[in-house]
Chains A and B, each alone.
Chain A
């Protein structure tokens, strides 16, 4: 650890972002099912109610649709709501409000209302999250003009992006992968923001670009470590913000490496991976030495049983294989590598 470094978990970074921004700005309030309970949204809202009182930190009836409209109304009237969903799947109950009200109201009022509204939702995975506790859906939210979508993948970005999202005067959906919650990283204690709409090169490399979202950054890093052994240098770009997308950083990287693999934490069909592939093809058409390849969930509902779940989710091994194909390398022996190891650590229940 270097001097001035402080390692904390992703979930503690989220909590710190909420706590410090609530201290700084009295307009911020935090609500959602389970926000003040003993689980405290896996620790991210712990102690907030005791500190800021029941008007600014409160539990809610289930009512996802109305609770989203309520956040919108409060935002219009000058408050800064942060709404929590313990699964993205539950946020889908609010889709009417998101697509028909939250996203259009500024446009529909001729720019007269502002909507500083943050919606946090957790992407579940593993230990049987299965059919209805595992969705990611960033493409669906990003499809709608008027919504911003962020997917922090490191503790540093979790704090910086959530803080920036709360200060943003627009609706922002923050998608947090459950497995990232216990990842640790260097996070300054002092408040800071990571601007929305800025991709980040997580790892420098020269031979191939991997654009990875959310948890897939962990897999991409794992893949890059495996490939390093055979002298392949992988550049990993984390878009961090899905909408608005900073494509310039991605394009710059692909122009350098001439190969692009998109590893999206979602289904592929009509998805964010297709969006990146289309933009890279448009901007780097003459420079690409292999077609843009996409890696994501199998086109099925997410099954519960582990053996099928391992088939459903892509892993570092799939990224290695895709890179080998792009670079026309013989498949290396991966039999000694350990994949899906986080499954053995995460014991749920959810």
Chain B
């Protein structure tokens, strides 16, 4: 793996730590019933979104799923509108209309996510097709879970992207569960990598949670897309720390043992990245300073969100259609 500069490493850590600390805050405040939106937490996948978004340029575009707190924070770095949206306030990303499951910030390149599995994938391919026609050099990355591979629209989208040589990264965040249903109850084939390899596509996979390694893989994938003009499919495994939806762990439910988590906890992406930083010679003091600054930013955004007003009732009818002003 190519050496990652201290600056890039610090940015990777800041992304991962921002996601973790924002989600910790959500976990703290969720039981107070102040955020009435179903939360699908990103904890455990920070390495993937941090790594891939670090490799993307600001102008590049991303699409995701209902589990996209991590993607939003990694791509935009923004927390004021994010928390306001969680609280359903008028200052939120979509003025409180969308919530945790439907995040969008086109100006920062996060076009859309979707809470119906796979439905954002073809939209991402269409966005990438437009980028190709406009010859603007933008890369599109679409993030989805392993469950999406069981939907027809994934294969339809992959086929079209390969056929039309669309500049897109398909990023599979594989946690092995669809809600609680494991792969063995869902999968009638041995290897997704083998299958996608038969398409006119570049294929990458990472058995790592290390943001630095994932960043390196994403850079290679982007270079391959530009060179070969074929899309790239990337698969990264991770472990979903919390229940499918909600802020608690769910080891007591019985479908997966706590021991499994303990193994993954040792390679927790945030901890791994922190160690990487120290190994690169960043002092503990600097790292702590970075962490404090991020926590402060999160605290401030939460306080702002709590104080912000709810949308006026008339907002219900706003933005259904585009209307000439």
A positions within 8 Å CB-CB of B: 29, 55, 60-61, 63, 65-79, 81, 96-97, 100-101, 105-115, 145-146, 148, 169-170
Residues in chain B near residue A170, CB distance under 8 A: 321-322
What 9 A-B pairs have minimum CB-CB distances, sorted nearest first?
A73-B126, A69-B122, A66-B156, A70-B126, A111-B319, A77-B130, A63-B156, A110-B94, A73-B127
B positions within 8 Å CB-CB of A: 61, 92-95, 97-98, 102, 104-107, 111-112, 114, 116, 119-131, 133-134, 152-153, 156-157, 159-160, 163, 318-322
Q: Of B95, B130, B156, B322, which is within 8 A of A110 by CB?
A: B95
A191→B263 CA distance, assembly (Å): 67
Q: Are A107 and B125 in contact (CB under 8 A)?
A: no
Q: Are A66 and B128 in contact (CB under 8 A)?
A: no
Residues in chain A near residue B122, CB distance under 8 A: 65-70, 72-73, 97
- Minimum CB–CB distance for B120 against chain A, Å: 8
Closest residue of chain A to B316 (Cβ to Cβ) is: A107
Residue pairs across A and B with Cβ atoms less than 8 A apart, 18 shown, are A61-B160, A63-B156, A63-B159, A66-B153, A73-B129, A76-B126, A76-B127, A77-B61, A78-B130, A97-B119, A100-B119, A101-B123, A105-B112, A107-B320, A108-B98, A109-B94, A113-B104, A146-B321
Residues in chain B near residue A114, CB distance under 8 A: 322
Q: Are B126 and A112 in contact (CB under 8 A)?
A: no
Residues in chain B near residue A60, CB distance under 8 A: 160
The answer to whether A106 and B130 touch (CB under 8 A), given A69-B123, A70-B160, A96-B116, is no
Residues in chain A near residue B160, CB distance under 8 A: 60-61, 63, 66-67, 70
A97→B123 CA distance, assembly (Å): 9
Closest residue of chain A to B111 (Cβ to Cβ) is: A76
Closest residue of chain A to B115 (Cβ to Cβ) is: A100
A110→B322 CA distance, assembly (Å): 11
Residues in chain A near residue B102, CB distance under 8 A: 108
Count chain B CB atoms within 10 A of each CB in A74, A146, A148 and give the residue with the most. Answer: A74
- Minimum CB–CB distance for A246 against chain B, Å: 15
Q: Are B128 and A61 in contact (CB under 8 A)?
A: no
The answer to whether A69 and B130 touch (CB under 8 A), given A106-B320, A112-B107, is no
- Minimum CB–CB distance for B311 against chain A, Å: 10
Residues in chain A near residue B321, CB distance under 8 A: 106, 146, 148, 170
Residues in chain B near residue A101, CB distance under 8 A: 112, 114, 116, 119-120, 123
Closest residue of chain A to B319 (Cβ to Cβ) is: A111
Residues in chain A near residue B128, CB distance under 8 A: 73
- Minimum CB–CB distance for A180 against chain B, Å: 27
Closest residue of chain B to A111 (Cβ to Cβ) is: B319
Q: Are A65 and B319 in contact (CB under 8 A)?
A: no
Known: A72-B122, A73-B130. 5 other contacts (CB 8 A): A70-B126, A72-B123, A73-B128, A107-B320, A112-B104
A106→B321 CA distance, assembly (Å): 7
Count chain B CB atoms within 10 A of each CB in A77, A105, A115, A148 and give the residue with the most. Answer: A77
A264→B33 CA distance, assembly (Å): 48
A145→B92 CA distance, assembly (Å): 22
Residues in chain A near residue B106, CB distance under 8 A: 76, 109, 112-113
Closest residue of chain A to B158 (Cβ to Cβ) is: A66
A226→B163 CA distance, assembly (Å): 56
Residues in chain A near residue B116, CB distance under 8 A: 96, 100-101
A197→B119 CA distance, assembly (Å): 30
